Every structure is written in structure tokens, then in C-alpha cells.
Chain A
């Protein structure tokens, strides 16, 4: 029976120690998961670290994009200013056009006056024709310049629109990406907090389990104590049996054995007087350091 109990207790103790080891291993695994260093070397980034790095890079990118947008706006302002200056040039060209018209009129009048003067005005008529010709060429150049400036003005206005569109698109995309990343980062922080809380609860649970295993280890020692008590009771029963056997001898032998019985009884009393297990409860035993 003792062997049976011992076998059962050893099995139970094995189960409790296995349970405790598994719980400690699970806690270690959970702590590794929470730290994010599972199977990685010291230089590897955790997932949280990775997102933090991305968020930092994104912030830098947003700053640069804001700077670029500000520069684009300055460029647009410069282009608007250029457009106004080109309008001034066109106004000056109008002035030149007016002057060439007047010059042409003057040359025409000079030709009429030269014709009236007859032979004497022939040379003057040639000069007047040349002036009209120059006036016409000036007017033609003036028109060409106006056309070119109008085309340049159109291109500048178009470029201004494109720059505006580009700047606003860059800002919108970057700000949306930053917002999404902030939201993801916030969710990861929430997950981290939840995981830290879970690991804390798991650690608390493993601590409680360890206490319970300690209680079980203490309580399972009943087998050793009961075993010693059974052995002690066995010895006492054996002593009683020995005494009964001595007492059952025939009357003529009893006198002869009386001294032997008394001596044996004293021996047995001395040997069995002290109980090897004095404890009546399974509380932790005393500790004395000498």
C-alpha cells in the first residue's frame, strides 16, 4: 500500500512540477512576445520600434513637403508678378503701335507735300517712303512681340496652375498618410498596453500558480510522514504480538521467561516511545540554523 501511495505522490509531484515549469515557460514566451524580441538578434527592431521609425521618417517627410509647398507658393507669387510685368510690356507695345501709326501718318503727309513741291520735292518723297516703310516694319515687329508675350503669359499661367495643383496634391497625400500612420501607431500603442496588461496578469497568475504548487509540494510530503507513522505503528504491533506470544507460553515456562519478558518490554518501550512524526498538521515545519 505504501508503494502505491508513494507512486501516486511521485506522479502528482511530477505533474505539479511540470505544470509550474510550463507556466514559467509560457510567461517567458509571453514576455518575449511583448518585448518583440522573439528569435531576433540584438540589432533587430521590434515591431513597435519599426512603426516608431516609420512615424519619425514620415514626420520628416511631411516637414519637407510643407517646405516644398511653401516654395511652390512663392514660385506662384513670382509668376503672378512676372505676368503683371508682361502686361506692362504689352502696354508699352501699344504705345509703340500708336507711335508707328503717327509716324506713318506723318510720312504720308510728307509724301503729299513732296508731290506738291514737284521736282524739288522728289528727294523728300523718297525719304518719306522710307520712313513709312520703317514704320510698317516697326508695327509688324511690335505685333510679333505682343503675340510672343501673350503666348509666354499663357504658358506662365498654365505652369502656375500646375504648381498650385502639385503643391496641394502633395500636401493632401502626405497629410492623409501621416494621419493613417498616426492612427496605426495609436492602435499599436493600445495593443502594446493591452499586451503589457495581459503579461502582468499572466505574471500574477504564474505567481499564484507557483504559490499553489508550493502548497502542493508541502502537502504531498504527507506520504513520507504517513509512511513513517505506518512503519512506527507496524513496529508497535509487532511488539504487542511478541508480548502476546510470550504471555501465551505454558505456566511452567512463564516464570522462566518472566525476566526476559520484562527486559524485552522495557526495550520496546524505549524504542517505540518517541513518535518519529510529531506534527499534527501540514503547515511548514520549523527551521533552526545552528
Chain B
């Protein structure tokens, strides 16, 4: 069974590039276009890892992580922030919200794969 990853981003090109990168390494990838959509997807299914952007219309990435951490199914699931935000203040907020890691865009496909492999195999 391939590991299942949820990618949440309002940018179609970022979603596409994350999907291409992970699918080519054998992961199953599901996309959502904003925080609310991501939360609904996460509740409807079970994922081994979640990648989310910060700045999205509606629910942002930090609030999505907070909402996910309240769900028993995602108490310890790796959740990575993939965003253009790179300030220490934002990273601290992410850590406090329950993020597993903080990846600043642009991402390098191989480095993203290395991180995902390290977290879920």
C-alpha cells in the first residue's frame, strides 16, 4: 500500500508540482485548494502526511494545523508547512500550532522527497 499524502495549497502550480514530485516516488497524493477543503479531505480519509501552505483564502495553514491536531486521527501525523513565509516568528507560531516541520518555498523536489521519506518512509 502506498503512503497517502494530502497537499493543501491555493496555487494550482504548487499543488501540481508537489503531486508530480511525490507521485513519481510512489506516493498517493490528494489535493485540496484551501484550509477548509483540506480539513474536509482529512476528515473524509486518512493520510500518512499532510503538506499545507500558510497563506490561503478562508482558513490559513496555521489554523488548519490547529484544527487537525484536535482530531484524534491526526494527533501524531506529520504535518509540514510549505510556504513562502520564512520569519522566525511565523516558524514559532507553526511549531506552537503543532507543525512537524517548516519548508520555505521554492522547494527542491529531491529535498522535499528526502523529508517526506524520512517522516513516513
B11 touches which one: A14, A224, A285, A289 (CB < 8 A)? A224
B contact residues, total (Cβ < 8 Å): 33
B106 touches which one: A9, A218, A276 (CB < 8 A)? A218
Task: Kindly list chain B residues whose C-beta atoms are within 8 Å of the C-beta of A20.
Answer: 20, 24
The interface residues of chain A, by DSSP majority, are classed as: helix
Q: Please state if A10 and B85 are interface contacts (CB–CB under 8 Å).
A: no
Smallest beta-carbon distance B75→chain A, Å: 15
Task: Kindly list chain A residues whose C-beta atoms are within 8 Å of the C-beta of B99.
Answer: 290
B100 within 8 A of A: yes
Question: Which of A225, A286, A287 has the largest count of B CB atoms less than 10 A from its CB?
Answer: A287
Measured CB to CB, the nearest residue on chain A to B96 is A290
A223 within 8 A of B: yes
B33 within 8 A of A: no
B109 touches which one: A218, A278, A290 (CB < 8 A)? A218
Q: Please state if B103 and A285 are interface contacts (CB–CB under 8 Å).
A: yes
What are the interface flags for B7-38 relative to A under an 8 Å C-beta threshold, 1 for contact and 0 otherwise?
Answer: 00101111011001100100000000000000
Q: Please state if B95 and A290 are interface contacts (CB–CB under 8 Å).
A: yes
A contact residues, total (Cβ < 8 Å): 36
Given contact pairs A220-B13, A224-B11, A227-B11, A279 touches B84 in the complex (Cβ within 8 A): yes
A220 to B108: give the CA distance in the assembly, Å.
11
A159 to B91: give the CA distance in the assembly, Å.
102
Measured CB to CB, the nearest residue on chain B to A213 is B109
Q: Please state if B101 and A288 are interface contacts (CB–CB under 8 Å).
A: yes
B70 within 8 A of A: no
Smallest beta-carbon distance A280→chain B, Å: 11
Q: Please state if A9 and B91 are interface contacts (CB–CB under 8 Å).
A: no
Given contact pairs A225-B105, A289-B101, A217 touches B17 in the complex (Cβ within 8 A): yes
A228 touches which one: B55, B87, B102 (CB < 8 A)? B55
Smallest beta-carbon distance B109→chain A, Å: 5
B110 within 8 A of A: yes
A224 to B99: give the CA distance in the assembly, Å.
22
What are the interface flags for A1-40 relative to B under an 8 Å C-beta threshold, 1 for contact and 0 otherwise?
Answer: 0000010011001100100110010000000000000000
Q: Please state if A287 and B55 are interface contacts (CB–CB under 8 Å).
A: no
A189 within 8 A of B: no
A218 touches which one: B20, B91, B95, B107 (CB < 8 A)? B107
A237 within 8 A of B: no
Q: Please state if B101 and A286 are interface contacts (CB–CB under 8 Å).
A: no
Smallest beta-carbon distance B13→chain A, Å: 4
Q: Please state if A290 and B17 are interface contacts (CB–CB under 8 Å).
A: no
What are the interface flags for A202-233 relative to B under an 8 Å C-beta threshold, 1 for contact and 0 otherwise?
Answer: 00000000000110011111111101100000
Q: 8 A-B pairs, CB-CB below 8 angstroms?
A: A13-B16, A20-B20, A218-B109, A223-B13, A279-B86, A279-B104, A286-B86, A289-B101
B residues with a Cβ closer than 8 A to A are 9, 11-14, 16-17, 20-21, 24, 55, 84-87, 91, 94-95, 99-111, 115, 118
Given contacts A20-B24, A224-B14, A286-B104, 5 further A-B pairs with CB under 8 A are A221-B13, A221-B105, A225-B105, A279-B86, A290-B101
